Amino acid sequence: MTTLGTLGESAVLARVFPRLPAARAQQLGPGDDAAVVAAPDGRFVVTTDMMIHGPDFRLAWSAPFDLGFKAAATNLSDVAAMGAVPTALVVALAAPAETRVDFLEAFADGLRAACDELSPGAGVVGGDLSVSATLTIAVTAFGDLEGRAPVLRSGARPGDVVAVSGTLGLAAEGLRLLFERGVVDGRPDAAAAAELAREHPVPIAAQLRPHPPIADGRAAAIAGATAMLDVSDGLARDASRIADASGVAIDFSGVSAAELAGAEDHGLLACFPPGIPLPGGFRQIGSVLEGTGVLSDGERITGSGWDPYAGWDGGSD
């Protein structure tokens, strides 16, 4: 069995580099001390996110390919939420020395698949590899605004339409199933998770291998979105960020409690001026009002969604 510890960093990277997706914007990729990436309009969007074994994923439930796919997808979604087109990723991974090299190869294959499927032209231009007792993944993503202004959280105005692209509540349902039925003797179990994936493929896939609507971020910006963000901590919690930043209230209509509280959907929540056709896969789910906070059919919502320090809260209304 070939592990990271027995092979060594240089040999590991020599096996992984060919599996990584190249970025259309890269002028110099992995191999030197830093990559060189084009910024066509003189600016770039940048974001970073971490995934840590334990609070963010369980190896018994997530295959290495799934981890690579999700690590890329969640960062691509943050870039898209600014109205930008993803261009490049930098990936750092710290893993136990006994980790098999084919684990890292499958992880790299997941990164490639996510870029190819969700944002063709985006790729991995560099990163870092280190040793740690806890598997830790950190991804930094870059994006091109193509000459447009970024779509911020602070631009929503009363009268705007609130719309979402992507699924709501499925990822949380998948996580609920895994915690309820993917555990044997108090521990996450790979066989139980595999059986769940066969019985409930849609919510399990939504949790382990999300497919955010990356192209709809650019489409929303072109259509005139006034505010936008990635739905990662629950619809209600993320909507409160737009409401607070814009000094408005957001009222959802006909959205279920599970859809409001479910986290890790990685769809896009956006506000649009009234009367314009909604682009891509966006559908109206509410409206922007005078006032503060988040409401559901006129009733105020509090404490709903995911907080990495406090955990998940189903909220109240």
The whole-number pLDDT of residue 313 equals 53
Q: Does the annotation place 136 within a ligand binding site?
A: no
Q: Does the annotation place 61 within a ligand binding site?
A: no
Q: Does the annotation place 116 within a ligand binding site?
A: no
In this structure, are residues 131 and 97 in contact, taking their beta carbons and an 8 Å threshold?
yes
Question: Measuring CA to CA, how many Å separate 164 from each of 225, 238, 252, 268?
Answer: 12, 12, 11, 6
Cα-to-chain-centroid distance, residue 238:
13
Question: Measuring CA to CA, how many Å separate 74 from each of 84, 111, 308?
Answer: 14, 11, 15
The whole-number pLDDT of residue 27 equals 78
Identity of residue 254: G
Residues 6+ apart with CB under 8 A from 86: 75, 76, 79, 80, 115, 119, 122, 141, 142, 143, 214
Distance linking the first and last C-alpha atoms of the chain: 54
Q: Does the annotation place 78 within a ligand binding site?
A: yes
pTM of the model: 0.90
The whole-number pLDDT of residue 312 equals 47
Q: Give the CB-side neighbour count of residue 122, counting CA atoms within 13 A.
A: 31
4-144 in CATH: which number? 3.30.1330.10
**Distance, CA of 19 to CA of 33 (rounded, Å):** 20
Q: Does the annotation place 232 within a ligand binding site?
A: yes
**Distance, CA of 84 to CA of 271 (rounded, Å):** 16
Strands 227-231 and 36-37: unpaired
Q: List phi, psi (to 5°) of 240.
A: -65, -25
The whole-number pLDDT of residue 33 equals 74
Residue whose entry in the numeric block shows the structure tokens 């896939």: 205
Residues 6+ apart with CB under 8 A from 209: 66, 69, 70, 73
Question: 12-17 long-range contacts, Cβ below 8 Å, gap at least 24?
Answer: 12/101, 12/104, 12/129, 13/129, 15/101, 15/104, 15/105, 16/104, 16/105, 16/108
Q: Which CATH class is domain 161-166+212-316?
A: alpha beta
Q: Does the annotation place 230 within a ligand binding site?
A: yes
Q: Does the annotation place 313 within a ligand binding site?
A: no
Q: Does the annotation place 216 within a ligand binding site?
A: no
The whole-number pLDDT of residue 166 equals 96
User: pLDDT digit of tens for each residue in the chain (317 aa)?
Assistant: 788 777 777 787 778 778 777 788 887 777 777 878 888 888 999 999 999 999 899 999 999 999 999 999 999 999 999 999 999 999 999 999 999 999 999 999 999 999 999 999 999 999 999 999 999 999 999 999 999 999 999 999 999 999 999 999 999 999 999 999 999 999 999 999 999 999 999 999 999 999 999 999 999 999 999 999 999 999 999 999 999 999 999 999 999 988 998 889 999 999 999 999 999 999 999 999 999 999 998 889 875 555 544 454 544 33
The whole-number pLDDT of residue 18 equals 80
Domain ranges of the chain: 4-144, 161-166+212-316
